Amino acid sequence: MFRTTGDIKDEVLVRLNVSTTAAGFYTDTILNDWLDQAHRIAAGFKKWSFVEGRSETTFASSTERYTYPENWKPDSIRILQLGGKRLRKLNYEDYENFKEDTPSSEARVFSDFGLEYYINPSVDSSGTIAVWGQYTPAAFDRTDIAVLTVFSDRDEDGNEAMIELMLSYAKMREKKFQESEAHRKRAIEKLDNIWERIKNEQFGYHTKDREMYKRVDIVSGALREDILKRDQWF
Protein backbone atom coordinates (compact mmCIF):
# COMPACT_ATOMS: atom_id res chain seq x y z
CA MET A 1 0.00 0.00 0.00
CA PHE A 2 1.34 3.40 -1.00
CA ARG A 3 -0.19 6.08 1.24
CA THR A 4 2.41 8.81 1.62
CA THR A 5 4.52 10.84 -0.77
CA GLY A 6 7.56 9.02 0.60
CA ASP A 7 5.96 5.65 -0.18
CA ILE A 8 5.22 6.72 -3.74
CA LYS A 9 8.71 8.06 -4.48
CA ASP A 10 10.33 4.96 -3.00
CA GLU A 11 8.14 2.68 -5.13
CA VAL A 12 9.03 4.61 -8.29
CA LEU A 13 12.73 4.11 -7.55
CA VAL A 14 12.19 0.40 -6.84
CA ARG A 15 10.41 -0.13 -10.15
CA LEU A 16 13.09 1.81 -11.98
CA ASN A 17 15.74 -0.21 -10.10
CA VAL A 18 17.73 2.95 -9.39
CA SER A 19 18.61 5.19 -6.46
CA THR A 20 18.91 8.96 -6.15
CA THR A 21 22.37 10.52 -6.27
CA ALA A 22 23.54 14.09 -6.17
CA ALA A 23 24.45 14.05 -9.85
CA GLY A 24 22.18 11.21 -10.87
CA PHE A 25 19.47 10.88 -13.43
CA TYR A 26 16.76 10.83 -10.73
CA THR A 27 17.41 13.37 -8.02
CA ASP A 28 15.05 14.19 -5.17
CA THR A 29 14.23 17.47 -6.88
CA ILE A 30 13.25 15.69 -10.09
CA LEU A 31 11.13 13.14 -8.24
CA ASN A 32 9.39 15.85 -6.25
CA ASP A 33 8.60 17.77 -9.46
CA TRP A 34 7.17 14.63 -11.03
CA LEU A 35 5.17 13.84 -7.91
CA ASP A 36 3.57 17.30 -7.86
CA GLN A 37 2.77 17.08 -11.56
CA ALA A 38 1.31 13.57 -11.28
CA HIS A 39 -0.79 14.61 -8.27
CA ARG A 40 -2.24 17.63 -10.07
CA ILE A 41 -3.08 15.58 -13.15
CA ALA A 42 -4.63 12.69 -11.21
CA ALA A 43 -6.55 14.98 -8.83
CA GLY A 44 -7.97 16.99 -11.73
CA PHE A 45 -8.68 14.03 -14.03
CA LYS A 46 -12.33 13.78 -12.92
CA LYS A 47 -14.63 15.64 -10.56
CA TRP A 48 -13.62 13.47 -7.63
CA SER A 49 -15.46 13.70 -4.35
CA PHE A 50 -11.95 13.73 -2.81
CA VAL A 51 -11.49 17.35 -3.90
CA GLU A 52 -14.91 18.73 -3.03
CA GLY A 53 -14.95 21.54 -0.50
CA ARG A 54 -17.06 24.12 1.31
CA SER A 55 -16.14 27.72 2.03
CA GLU A 56 -17.83 30.62 3.85
CA THR A 57 -17.57 34.39 3.68
CA THR A 58 -19.70 37.33 4.84
CA PHE A 59 -22.14 38.94 2.43
CA ALA A 60 -21.56 42.67 2.05
CA SER A 61 -24.81 44.53 1.42
CA SER A 62 -25.13 45.74 -2.20
CA THR A 63 -21.84 44.08 -3.13
CA GLU A 64 -22.12 41.99 -6.26
CA ARG A 65 -18.68 40.58 -7.07
CA TYR A 66 -16.70 38.10 -4.95
CA THR A 67 -13.44 36.21 -5.49
CA TYR A 68 -13.48 32.43 -5.69
CA PRO A 69 -11.99 30.68 -2.64
CA GLU A 70 -8.25 30.16 -2.93
CA ASN A 71 -7.22 27.19 -5.09
CA TRP A 72 -10.78 26.53 -6.25
CA LYS A 73 -11.36 25.57 -9.87
CA PRO A 74 -13.17 28.04 -12.17
CA ASP A 75 -16.89 27.38 -12.74
CA SER A 76 -16.90 24.78 -9.96
CA ILE A 77 -19.41 26.34 -7.53
CA ARG A 78 -22.39 23.99 -7.61
CA ILE A 79 -24.38 25.26 -4.64
CA LEU A 80 -24.46 28.74 -3.08
CA GLN A 81 -26.46 29.67 -0.01
CA LEU A 82 -26.89 33.13 1.45
CA GLY A 83 -28.15 33.27 5.01
CA GLY A 84 -29.15 29.62 4.70
CA LYS A 85 -31.25 30.25 1.58
CA ARG A 86 -30.24 28.64 -1.71
CA LEU A 87 -29.58 30.83 -4.74
CA ARG A 88 -30.25 29.66 -8.30
CA LYS A 89 -27.25 29.59 -10.62
CA LEU A 90 -27.54 31.29 -14.01
CA ASN A 91 -25.03 31.24 -16.81
CA TYR A 92 -23.19 34.54 -16.95
CA GLU A 93 -24.87 35.89 -20.10
CA ASP A 94 -28.33 35.23 -18.67
CA TYR A 95 -27.27 36.84 -15.38
CA GLU A 96 -26.24 40.03 -17.18
CA ASN A 97 -29.52 40.02 -19.12
CA PHE A 98 -31.43 39.55 -15.87
CA LYS A 99 -29.71 42.55 -14.27
CA GLU A 100 -30.38 44.73 -17.30
CA ASP A 101 -34.02 43.70 -17.66
CA THR A 102 -34.95 43.72 -13.96
CA PRO A 103 -32.41 45.89 -12.12
CA SER A 104 -34.48 46.15 -8.92
CA SER A 105 -35.38 42.46 -8.67
CA GLU A 106 -34.70 40.76 -5.33
CA ALA A 107 -34.45 37.30 -6.96
CA ARG A 108 -32.05 34.85 -5.33
CA VAL A 109 -29.71 34.26 -8.28
CA PHE A 110 -25.97 34.18 -8.84
CA SER A 111 -23.46 33.39 -11.55
CA ASP A 112 -19.73 33.07 -12.02
CA PHE A 113 -17.13 34.05 -14.58
CA GLY A 114 -13.49 33.07 -14.42
CA LEU A 115 -12.36 33.11 -10.81
CA GLU A 116 -15.14 35.38 -9.56
CA TYR A 117 -18.77 34.84 -8.68
CA TYR A 118 -21.61 37.35 -8.76
CA ILE A 119 -24.61 37.62 -6.46
CA ASN A 120 -27.64 39.74 -7.30
CA PRO A 121 -26.87 42.85 -5.18
CA SER A 122 -30.60 43.36 -4.49
CA VAL A 123 -31.12 39.79 -3.28
CA ASP A 124 -33.70 39.37 -0.49
CA SER A 125 -31.26 37.54 1.79
CA SER A 126 -28.26 38.46 3.92
CA GLY A 127 -25.75 36.92 6.28
CA THR A 128 -23.12 34.29 5.50
CA ILE A 129 -22.31 33.13 1.98
CA ALA A 130 -21.65 29.38 1.86
CA VAL A 131 -20.40 27.77 -1.35
CA TRP A 132 -19.80 24.15 -2.30
CA GLY A 133 -17.43 23.28 -5.14
CA GLN A 134 -14.10 21.78 -6.13
CA TYR A 135 -10.56 22.83 -5.35
CA THR A 136 -7.10 22.10 -6.71
CA PRO A 137 -4.85 20.46 -4.08
CA ALA A 138 -1.95 22.59 -2.92
CA ALA A 139 1.63 21.57 -3.69
CA PHE A 140 3.20 19.11 -1.30
CA ASP A 141 5.54 20.05 1.52
CA ARG A 142 8.68 18.52 0.06
CA THR A 143 10.37 18.22 3.44
CA ASP A 144 7.65 15.93 4.81
CA ILE A 145 7.59 12.40 3.41
CA ALA A 146 4.51 11.50 5.49
CA VAL A 147 2.13 13.74 3.51
CA LEU A 148 -0.94 11.98 2.12
CA THR A 149 -2.41 12.44 -1.37
CA VAL A 150 -6.09 13.12 -2.10
CA PHE A 151 -6.47 9.39 -2.83
CA SER A 152 -4.81 8.08 0.34
CA ASP A 153 -7.24 6.14 2.58
CA ARG A 154 -9.96 6.75 -0.04
CA ASP A 155 -8.92 4.85 -3.16
CA GLU A 156 -5.34 3.62 -3.29
CA ASP A 157 -5.57 2.97 -7.03
CA GLY A 158 -5.22 6.72 -7.43
CA ASN A 159 -1.77 6.55 -5.86
CA GLU A 160 -0.93 3.61 -8.13
CA ALA A 161 -1.96 5.78 -11.10
CA MET A 162 0.38 8.51 -9.86
CA ILE A 163 3.23 5.98 -9.76
CA GLU A 164 2.46 5.02 -13.37
CA LEU A 165 2.51 8.68 -14.39
CA MET A 166 5.88 9.20 -12.73
CA LEU A 167 7.25 6.11 -14.46
CA SER A 168 5.97 7.56 -17.72
CA TYR A 169 7.96 10.74 -17.06
CA ALA A 170 11.03 8.68 -16.22
CA LYS A 171 10.85 6.66 -19.43
CA MET A 172 10.31 9.84 -21.41
CA ARG A 173 13.49 11.21 -19.82
CA GLU A 174 15.28 8.02 -20.89
CA LYS A 175 13.86 8.53 -24.42
CA LYS A 176 12.00 5.21 -24.18
CA PHE A 177 8.87 6.66 -25.72
CA GLN A 178 6.87 3.47 -26.17
CA GLU A 179 7.39 2.47 -22.54
CA SER A 180 6.48 5.99 -21.47
CA GLU A 181 3.21 5.81 -23.40
CA ALA A 182 2.42 2.37 -21.96
CA HIS A 183 2.78 3.70 -18.39
CA ARG A 184 0.65 6.74 -19.24
CA LYS A 185 -2.14 4.55 -20.60
CA ARG A 186 -2.06 2.34 -17.50
CA ALA A 187 -2.39 5.45 -15.33
CA ILE A 188 -5.42 6.64 -17.29
CA GLU A 189 -6.98 3.19 -17.15
CA LYS A 190 -6.66 3.09 -13.37
CA LEU A 191 -8.19 6.56 -13.00
CA ASP A 192 -11.04 5.61 -15.34
CA ASN A 193 -11.68 2.49 -13.26
CA ILE A 194 -11.93 4.59 -10.08
CA TRP A 195 -14.46 6.85 -11.78
CA GLU A 196 -16.54 3.88 -12.94
CA ARG A 197 -16.69 2.53 -9.39
CA ILE A 198 -17.78 5.93 -8.10
CA LYS A 199 -20.51 6.21 -10.74
CA ASN A 200 -21.72 2.72 -9.94
CA GLU A 201 -22.11 3.70 -6.29
CA GLN A 202 -24.08 6.83 -7.17
CA PHE A 203 -27.03 4.92 -8.62
CA GLY A 204 -28.76 5.07 -5.23
CA TYR A 205 -28.90 8.88 -5.15
CA HIS A 206 -32.42 10.27 -5.50
CA THR A 207 -33.73 13.75 -6.10
CA LYS A 208 -36.48 15.14 -3.91
CA ASP A 209 -39.44 16.81 -5.67
CA ARG A 210 -37.22 18.46 -8.26
CA GLU A 211 -38.18 18.75 -11.91
CA MET A 212 -35.59 18.92 -14.64
CA TYR A 213 -37.35 21.85 -16.33
CA LYS A 214 -39.61 24.61 -15.05
CA ARG A 215 -43.14 24.58 -16.47
CA VAL A 216 -44.01 27.43 -18.84
CA ASP A 217 -47.47 28.83 -19.56
CA ILE A 218 -47.43 29.03 -23.36
CA VAL A 219 -50.34 31.50 -23.56
CA SER A 220 -49.06 33.96 -20.97
CA GLY A 221 -45.43 33.49 -21.89
CA ALA A 222 -44.11 33.15 -18.36
CA LEU A 223 -43.04 30.51 -15.90
CA ARG A 224 -46.07 28.87 -14.35
CA GLU A 225 -44.71 29.43 -10.86
CA ASP A 226 -44.66 33.19 -11.56
CA ILE A 227 -48.31 33.16 -12.67
CA LEU A 228 -49.90 30.83 -10.13
CA LYS A 229 -48.76 31.53 -6.61
CA ARG A 230 -50.17 29.93 -3.51
CA ASP A 231 -52.58 32.18 -1.59
CA GLN A 232 -52.17 34.90 -4.21
CA TRP A 233 -55.77 36.06 -3.71
CA PHE A 234 -55.43 36.58 0.04
Do 71 and 179 sit in the same domain of this protein?
no
Q: What is the mean pLDDT of residues 65-91?
A: 94
Beta strands 52-58; 109-113: pairing state: unpaired
In this prediction the pTM is 0.75
Closest C-alpha among 157, 179, 160 to residue 170: 179
Long-range contacts of 11-20 (CB under 8 A, 24+ apart): 11/163, 12/163, 12/166, 12/167, 12/170, 15/163, 15/167, 16/167, 16/170
Q: Is residue 230 in a domain?
A: no
- How many other C-beta atoms are found inside a 10 Å radius of the C-beta of residue 195? 15
Query: What is the DSSP code (8-state) at residue 228?
Result: S
Do 197 and 86 sit in the same domain of this protein?
no
Do 124 and 156 sit in the same domain of this protein?
no
Do 93 and 157 sit in the same domain of this protein?
no
pLDDT of residue 205: 64
CA distance 156 to 105: 49
Range(s) of the domain holding residue 84: 51-135
Q: Is residue 89 in a domain?
A: yes
**pLDDT band at residue 201, thresholds of 50, 70 and 90?**
confident
Instruction: Report phi then psi at 73, rounded to 5.
Output: -80, 145
pLDDT of residue 212: 47
State pLDDT tens for residues 122-152.
999 889 999 999 998 888 888 899 999 999 9
Model confidence at 60: pLDDT above 50: yes
**pLDDT band at residue 229, thresholds of 50, 70 and 90?**
very low
Task: Find out whether 130 and 55 touch, Cβ atoms under 8 Å.
Answer: yes
pLDDT of residue 170: 94
**Counted domains in the chain:** 2
Task: Find out whether 69 and 55 touch, Cβ atoms under 8 Å.
Answer: yes
Do 65 and 113 sit in the same domain of this protein?
yes
Q: Is residue 168 in a domain?
A: yes
Do 37 and 108 sit in the same domain of this protein?
no
Task: Find out whether 126 and 111 touch, Cβ atoms under 8 Å.
Answer: no
Q: Which of these three, 135, 156, 176, is where a domain ends? A: 135
Do 121 and 196 sit in the same domain of this protein?
no
Q: What is the mean pLDDT of residues 89-118?
A: 95
Q: Is residue 62 in a domain?
A: yes
Do 66 and 16 sit in the same domain of this protein?
no
State pLDDT tens for residues 22-54.
446 788 899 999 999 999 999 989 989 889 999
pLDDT of residue 138: 84
Do 34 and 71 sit in the same domain of this protein?
no
**With the CA atoms of 62, 67, 73 and 79 taken in that order, what torsion angle do they form, in degrees rounded to the nearest 10?**
-30
Q: Which of 27-31, 74-78, 181-185, 195-199 has the highest mean pLDDT?
A: 181-185
Do 12 and 70 sit in the same domain of this protein?
no
Q: Which of these three, 76, 102, 135, is where a domain ends? A: 135
pLDDT of residue 15: 93
Model confidence at 234: pLDDT above 50: no
| Lowest-confidence segment of 15-24, 134-143, 219-228 by average pLDDT | 219-228
Q: Is residue 186 in a domain?
A: yes
Model confidence at 6: pLDDT above 60: yes
Task: Find out whether 126 and 60 touch, Cβ atoms under 8 Å.
Answer: no
Q: Is residue 213 in a domain?
A: no
Task: Find out whether 71 and 138 touch, Cβ atoms under 8 Å.
Answer: yes
Model confidence at 224: pLDDT above 80: no
Q: Is residue 222 in a domain?
A: no
Higher pLDDT, 217 or 48: 48
Q: What is the mean pLDDT of residues 57-80?
A: 92
Do 57 and 18 sit in the same domain of this protein?
no
Question: Which parts of 78-160 are beta strand (E)?
Answer: 79-82, 85-89, 109-113, 116-119, 128-134
Q: Which of these three, 110, 135, 160, is where a domain ends? A: 135
Higher pLDDT, 102 or 203: 102
pLDDT of residue 209: 60
**pLDDT band at residue 198, thresholds of 50, 70 and 90?**
confident
Task: Find out whether 121 and 63 touch, Cβ atoms under 8 Å.
Answer: yes
Do 39 and 92 sit in the same domain of this protein?
no
Q: Is residue 56 in a domain?
A: yes
